[in-house]
Structure 1
Amino acid sequence: MKVKVVLLAACAVILASCGSGKNVVRSTPNEVVLDTKEEKAPELPQLEQVKRPATTTVNHTETYIQKFAPIAVKKMHEHGIPASITLAQGVLESGSGRSALALRSNNHFGIKCHKGWQGHSVTHDDDEKGECFRKYKYPETSYEDHSQFLLTRSRYASLFKLRHTDYKGWAYGLKKAGYATDKRYPQKLISIINKYNLSQYDRVKPDGSLASKTSSYKAESHKVQKGDTLYSISRRYNISVQRLKEVNGLTDNNISIGQDLLVK
């Protein structure tokens, strides 16, 4: 009899450990996590959060733009959403990467869980207390989810008929489709785009070169020649190396012959 009891107990342990393969929900006072497949590791290297600088002279928004512009451009070519719009929304929604939601959950666009979300989540006070927001392991996943959010909802379908350089049409279209309740949401996006010249990123080609639109635009760009360096180009056009990298979405000092660089 004792042998049977031991065998039954052992079987119960084995069955419990094997389970049915379903996801397991864990809960803590501040976070609810649904175990799912790991997020895909980001392809771009500059994905750490924007940390608070030691000095107060640094412009947080410019730092944010410099860091995440390559991702916004990448998503623009993959999904057709203007990089300027994505960046402006990121700046506005995440406080240039310094909001609690961005720092805590890599959620740069304030996307809530919504029905059917099976990823990680975190509670955060917004319109109501303790609302459920999506949590990401990488900021780039937040940018991809933002694209998918717009792509998979029919109310935004008309926006994808606009040119990806028509950032004003996109700004007003987002408000009309119900993306935000703020009546001045389009104006705020456009103001950020104009202030930080984000429309330049809408003209970046997949290979990183600039798509010229007019002859006057060409006059403000430089085609890299043999022997050119960022330093020599900066001296020629009286612009700092840091600014050159910033306006062209460069994350290092590497440039290639034939590449067009914005020099204004």
Structure 2
Amino acid sequence: MRLKTVFLSVLFGVTSFLLQAQGVSQQYLNYIERYKGMAIDQMLRYKIPASITLAQGLLESGAGTSTLARKANNHFGIKCGRAWKGPYVLQDDDERNEKFRKYRSVEESYEDHSRFLQQARYSSLFDLSPKDYKGWARGLKRCGYATNPRYASLLIDLIERYDLDQYDKYKSSKLHFDYSSIDRQLNSESLPSHLVYRNNENYYIIARAGDTFDLLAEETGVSARDIRKFNELPKGYRIQAGDVLYLERKRKKAAKKYKDVPHVVKAGESMYNIAQRYGIRLESLYDMNNLPADYAIQVNDRLRVR
């Protein structure tokens, strides 16, 4: 038994030495082995080279070890953008606290990556052969997928170092992934996390029954204190279902489309409700209308919001 243990230890040591000598990582090899079938499947469905998908996954997620990959199943560093209506996490990137998409599974991340590349800005890539990984790598950089000036060369190096282009030759796959549920899960209310909406260049969620500031802070990455502050709520306030809760500090004015378009007060509205509706600070709403802080609005009052 002891000899077998010694033999295995020696074998592991020799293998590790050989991998290091070749400039490859066992962690990267494990990632490739785990997700190559998924990358091939995506290639057959979307015509994106499997080598590119794998190389981007390796690079963007650190072979599945990055914070985004572990906490959000985000293997491709995709940020929210205006079209994203699903959950997100905050992480520093080019700027502080940028919003990155959050997925229920790695399968969702791979599927969304393929869909993401269907945007018009990447359309030129699909004129290339699925076997032209160098053209794809350079095209991704040219189309603005990443800001790193070495992005294309990093992808090409990974593909050649790990022989990833071998997976571009597949014409069929024995592995079949079920994406039918993902169609319903991506950007849908079936996700357990809150949908994130956008208003007046600001992100917000709509509270559900049972929500607390601490639970929302854990989900969104925005502290409970900041959620209260951004929404001008007192410390003892208890969240109600249907509350609009902004995740950034609100603007001083409503969107440009409301210029010279006053808000006509309706029954049951309050200054606070109106401020939340337009994504503006309550104090600014009072200031724009030259109203004292104790003013009680009346039905049919006309309020400037910009």
Query: TM-score, length-normalised on structure 2?
Result: 0.48
User: Which residue type is aligned with residue 114 of structure 2?
Assistant: S
1:3-62 CA distance string (max 9 Å, x none): xxxxxxxxxxxxxxxxxxxxxxxxxxxxxxxxxxxxxxxxxxxxxxxxxxxx99571100
Aligned to 2:127: 161
2:160 is the counterpart of 1:197: no
d(CA) in 2 for partners of 1:160 and 1:145?
17
The 3 A distance-change label for structure 1 pair 167 and 185 is same
1:228-239 alignment runs, 5 A limit: none
Q: CA offset at residue 181 of structure 1?
A: 1.3
Q: 2:37 aligns with which of 59, 70, 81?
A: 70
1:94 Cα shift?
0.4
Flag structure 2 segments of 5+ consecutive residues without an equivalent. Answer: 1-12, 17-24, 176-306
Residue of structure 1 equivalent to 2:101: 134
- The answer for the alignment partner of 1:229 in structure 2 is none
Q: Give matches, 1:108-187, under 5 Å.
A: 108-151=75-118, 153-187=119-153
Aligned to 1:179, the other structure's residue is in SS state coil
Counterpart amino acid of 2:140?
Answer: L
| 2:59 corresponds to | 92
Q: What whole-Å deviation, never above 9, does each CA across 1:223-260 have from its counterpart, x for those lacking one? A: xxxxxxxxxxxxxxxxxxxxxxxxxxxxxxxxxxxxxx
Task: Give the distance between the partners of 1:178 and 1:128, measured in 2 at CA.
Answer: 16
1:254 aligns to what? none
Q: Which moved more, 1:167-176 or 1:200-209?
A: 200-209
Relative contact order (C-alpha < 8 Å, sep 6+): which is higher?
A: 1
**AA paired with 1:189?**
L
Deviation of 1:208 after TM superposition, in Å, equals 4.3
Larger Rg: 2
Q: How many residues align?
A: 154
Alignment of 1:195-234 (within 5 A): 195-208=161-174
Distance 2:152 2:173 in 1: 30
Identity %: 53
| Distance across 2 between alignment mates of 1:173 and 1:129 | 27
The one-character-per-residue Cα deviations of 1:163-204 (angstroms, maximum 9, x if unpaired) are: 101101101111111111111111110000000000000011
- Corresponding position: 1:83 with 2:50: yes
Amino acid at match of 1:83: A
Secondary structure of the equivalent of 1:107? coil
Query: 1:109-134, CA deviations, whole angstroms, 9 ceiling, x for partnerless residues?
Result: 01011102111111111111111110
TM-score by length of 1: 0.56
Q: Partner of 1:122: helix, strand, or coil?
A: strand
- SS of equivalent to 1:158: helix
Question: Aligned partners of 2:140, 2:37: CA distance in 1, in Å?
Answer: 22
CA distance in 2, matches of 1:200, 1:149: 24
Give the superposition deviation at 1:78: 0.4
